[in-house]
Amino acid sequence: MSPWLPRAGFACLALLAATIPASAQYSVYYGNFHSHTSFSSDAQGPGSGPPTTAFQYARDVAGIDILAVTDHSHYLTTSEYNTLQANADTWTTNGTFVAIAAQEHGSLSTSVSGAFGHMNVWDAAQVINQSTYRYNLVSSYGWIATNVDATTGNPLVAGFNHPYTGSGQGPWAQFQDFTYNATGDDAMQFIEVLNGKRSSDYESEYFEALAKGWHIGALGNQDNHDGAWGDQVNNVGNIPLTGVWAAALTRADVLEALAARRTFAMEVDPPTDRMSLEFTMDGNWMGSEYATAADSVFVQVVASAETSISSLQLFRNGTFLKSIGPGATSFTWDTFDTPGPGDFYYVVKVNQADGDHAWSSPIWVNSTSTFSLPISVVNQDDASGLPTLWFQTATVQGLVTVDTDTLDTVNNRIFIQDATGGLMVLESGAQSVHFVPGDNVLVTGTVDTFKGQTLISSPTAVEIQSQGGAPPSAAIITTAQLEASGETWEGALVELRGVVITGGTWPSPGFDGAVTIDDGSGPATLFIDKDTVVDDQGAPTDSSFSVLGIVIQDDTAVPYDCCYAVMPRFGGDVFSNVGVAVSELPAHDSTVRTILHATRPNPVRHRADIRFDVAGSREQHVKLEIYDLSGRHVRTLVDGALPPGEFEVTWSRDSDSGKRVAAGVYFARLVTQADRVTRKIVVLQ
């Protein structure tokens, strides 16, 4: 099973759960799922005692609802484990207290080959065989995955304990550095985000394991070795506890809640300040895996505590997404996210005013949404020149203008463009999909910036919607416009006509470089990238020339509003003016605008009349084409020289081949030598 594919059958369960209000399903109970008694040879100090003492202390002194005694399996005899199970049965009172017999398996040795760390196994019918499994991680996963609990006969529940670096020997340490294992993913449900004996928190290890594909939830445990079962203070003065959302306080219901990972890990200080944390998405509880085709997911967090909550934070795929600062002891946070297509896991972190924290178990979402943002929205900057969506995940769709291998032979560094703007996409150290100009692509990734250039980095989903389409047309601008308003065209394809080199030196082959160019309106920068062939072909020999390229930015200081340049992609992007003087190129007439009027009728059933006005003072080449929603060319209606004036053509909802097009959304695009305008057309059955 892929680490990112949802487990079979969860979608149906998720739909069922979504029909029931979250608060009506479960109640929160507090437990410690990792503790030792005198049955463990390293827990026989004066503060320790037998399991019956531990259960009584947890119930009557610490006042928690659940205690699991997890004595070391390599110390436990069969007789001792039978006694532990009998004590757990004796001390369990439905509705009042749940006692669980469990075991801690594995080894922390840094010298014995195969030692992988410690893991807890709850409510197993017998002690795991030490000679076979103690130093064999993969086999241990197999044993857990194929055995059942002693209470309900359901699959065992297990978790990674105190996953600190160096817990184990060499290549097996820290569970083989959390190397993903499909059987292990079925076997393991948890990781200790808090462990009272070993460390204040393991947040980084939690996110590391999740990033590697493990479907594990969060526990806060005390790892008692010297008594104080349920209220042991850790090394930073807090009591680690786990909140469990269960249907009732019975052992069967608690085990079901653990199997479903409806838990959160928390720090408690003072002892009465136990948090409550509900985290659902589209009605699915923390610990759930579900699928959705919706454009957005609805997130609800309900948190309360004795001490004020300073902030609630939402993480997606281990990266901080958004937060809210309630500054209250009880708060409900309703928010949305639009992750786009792909596989995602969400985690909530609660921060209290006194410095205590809580971590939810994740919710995993498989999204098949094709929702995408206009590129202009992703390109929006704040007052500092940083993207307003910085570090957030966004999905964009556009036509490829710079393909794989053109600018970088190591990383997949491309540019895409839609009707609103252009954008860089950077896939570091990999080329998962090979793009060519004109490909219509859908990309989901993190919005980032480098020297002012906005980009989508670390894409989680890259999909070619269609291939072989025409690349987008370039905006024709002046050098003065590039210099003064480069942000307008950042990442987009532009054309500068009739320019001359007025400064700088064309770089030698194999080197980056820049020259100053001017079309008579003012100086601008032409950047030559060594990874293209433009540096190899040398400077143009014409006294003036035209250049096609991407607008890039190289600004190292806030507010990132300068240092724009045009970067040609291919050798043909620097080309001759073909004997046409700048003065002879079509010019705008201030009294006439290039206009593509609204199609009549719209929506269309049979035929559409498309009227347009051509600006300028002389004849020029005009092209009017129809494209479908994916950017694929459908029909050419006009392709030739026209004088300035008003024109009208009819489209009989046919393609160039004469076939009738299907119902859907189409676009009429008018391109002249100075302008380009697009109109949407809806075609009905």
Top pLDDT among 306 and 198 is at 306
| Cα–Cα dist 169/114, whole Å | 6
| Cα–Cα dist 96/66, whole Å | 9
The whole-number pLDDT of residue 19 equals 38
| Cα–Cα dist 428/415, whole Å | 14
Closest CA to 445 of 492, 490, 370, 392: 392
The whole-number pLDDT of residue 338 equals 80
| Cα–Cα dist 370/651, whole Å | 29
CA 147 to each of CA 128, 158, 170, 174, 495: distance values in angstroms, whole numbers, following the listed order: 10, 11, 29, 23, 68
- Quote helix, strand, coil % in the chain, to nearest 5: 15, 40, 40
Q: Is the pLDDT assigned to residue 156 strictly greater than 90?
A: yes
The whole-number pLDDT of residue 631 equals 65
Q: What is the dihedral of CA 554, 555, 560, 562, to 10 degrees?
A: -80
CATH topology of domain 1-25+273-367: Immunoglobulin-like (2.60.40)
Helix (H) or strand (E) holding 377: helix 375-378
Closest CA to 669 of 616, 632, 644, 641: 632
**DSSP code per residue over 558-593:** TT----EEEE--SGGGEEE-TT--GGGS----TT--
Q: Which amino acid type is present at position 251?
A: R
| Cα–Cα dist 421/403, whole Å | 17
The whole-number pLDDT of residue 583 equals 32
| Cα–Cα dist 490/566, whole Å | 9
In which residue ranges of the chain is CATH 2.60.40.10 found? 1-25+273-367
In which residue ranges of the chain is CATH 2.60.40.1930 found? 595-683
Residue 80 contacts residue 136 (beta carbons within 8 Å): no
**Which of 52-56, 361-365, 439-443 has the lowest average pLDDT?**
439-443
Q: Please indicate, yes or no, whether the overall pTM of this predicted structure exceeds 0.75.
A: no
The whole-number pLDDT of residue 469 equals 72
pLDDT digits (tens, 9 = 90+) for 349-385: 999 999 999 999 999 999 988 778 899 999 999 888 8
Q: Supply 253's token pair.
A: 């219901």
pLDDT digits (tens, 9 = 90+) for 490-519: 999 999 998 999 999 999 988 999 999 999
Q: Which amino acid type is present at position 414?
A: I
Q: Is the dihedral of CA 220, 226, 232, 238 positive or negative?
A: negative
In which residue ranges of the chain is CATH 3.20.20.140 found? 27-261
In which residue ranges of the chain is CATH 2.40.50.140 found? 375-466, 475-584
pLDDT digits (tens, 9 = 90+) for 72-88: 999 999 999 999 999 99
363-367/289-292 β-pairing? parallel
In this structure, what DSSP letter does residue 171 have?
G
Other C-beta atoms closer than 10 Å to the C-beta of 456 total: 25
Residue 252: strand, helix, or coil:
helix
Total residue length of the chain:
685
Residue 412 contacts residue 426 (beta carbons within 8 Å): yes
CATH topology of domain 475-584: OB fold (Dihydrolipoamide Acetyltransferase, E2P) (2.40.50)
Which residues have C-beta within 8 Å of that of residue 393, sequence separation ≥ 6? 316, 317, 319, 321, 339, 340, 344, 444, 445, 446, 447, 460
**Which of 193-197, 314-318, 574-578 has the lowest average pLDDT?**
574-578
Instruction: Phi first, then psi: give them for residue 167, nearest 5 degrees.
Output: -85, 85
CA 93 to each of CA 96, 120, 252, 422, 533: distance values in angstroms, whole numbers, following the listed order: 5, 23, 12, 65, 78
| Cα–Cα dist 179/244, whole Å | 28
The whole-number pLDDT of residue 2 equals 30
Q: Is the pLDDT assigned to residue 591 strictly greater than 50?
A: no
**Average pLDDT of span 551-580:** 84
The whole-number pLDDT of residue 577 equals 62
| Cα–Cα dist 271/218, whole Å | 20
* Cα 58 versus chain centre, distance: 40
**Which of 121-130, 209-218, 390-399 has the lowest average pLDDT?**
390-399
Instruction: Phi first, then psi: give them for residue 175, nearest 5 degrees.
Output: 55, 50
Q: Is the dihedral of CA 129, 131, 132, 135 positive or negative?
A: positive
Top pLDDT among 67 and 433 is at 67
Instruction: Phi first, then psi: give them for residue 299, nearest 5 degrees.
Output: -110, 130
Instruction: Phi first, then psi: give them for residue 277, nearest 5 degrees.
Output: -135, 110
Which class is 375-466 in CATH?
mainly beta
**Average pLDDT of span 556-583:** 76
Angle CA(207)–CA(208)–CA(214) in degrees, nearest 5? 85
| Cα–Cα dist 376/399, whole Å | 14
Residue 6, preceding peptide bond in cis (omega within 30° of 0):
no
pLDDT digits (tens, 9 = 90+) for 259-303: 999 999 999 999 999 999 999 999 999 999 999 998 889 999 999
- Kindly report the CATH number that applies to the domain delimited by 27-261: 3.20.20.140
The whole-number pLDDT of residue 134 equals 97
**Average pLDDT of span 398-422:** 88
Closest CA to 518 of 550, 566, 553, 573: 566
pLDDT digits (tens, 9 = 90+) for 94-146: 999 999 999 999 999 999 999 999 999 999 999 999 999 999 999 999 999 99
| Cα–Cα dist 565/50, whole Å | 75
CA 495 to each of CA 541, 568, 675: distance values in angstroms, whole numbers, following the listed order: 19, 10, 12
Other C-beta atoms closer than 10 Å to the C-beta of 580 total: 12
Beta strands in 403-476 (DSSP E): 412-418, 421-427, 440-450, 453-466, 475-476
In this structure, what DSSP letter does residue 423 have?
E
Left, alpha or beta for 577 (phi > 0: left; psi -120 to 50: alpha)?
alpha
**Average pLDDT of span 618-630:** 82
Secondary structure (H, E, C), 274-338: CCEEEEEECCEECCCEEEECCCCEEEEEEEEEEEEEEEEEEEECCEEEEEECCCEEEEEEEEEEC
**Average pLDDT of span 17-42:** 80
CATH of 595-683, one of 3.40.50.2300, 2.60.40.1930, 2.60.40.10, 3.90.1150.10: 2.60.40.1930
Other C-beta atoms closer than 10 Å to the C-beta of 4 total: 15
Q: Is the pLDDT assigned to residue 66 strictly greater than 60?
A: yes
pLDDT > 70: what percent of the chain? 93
**Average pLDDT of span 445-470:** 86
Q: Is the pLDDT assigned to residue 578 strictly greater than 50?
A: no
Closest CA to 43 of 91, 75, 84, 88: 75
Q: Say which residue the tokens 């039978």 belong to.
A: 82
Helices (H) and strands (E) in the chain, counts: 14, 37
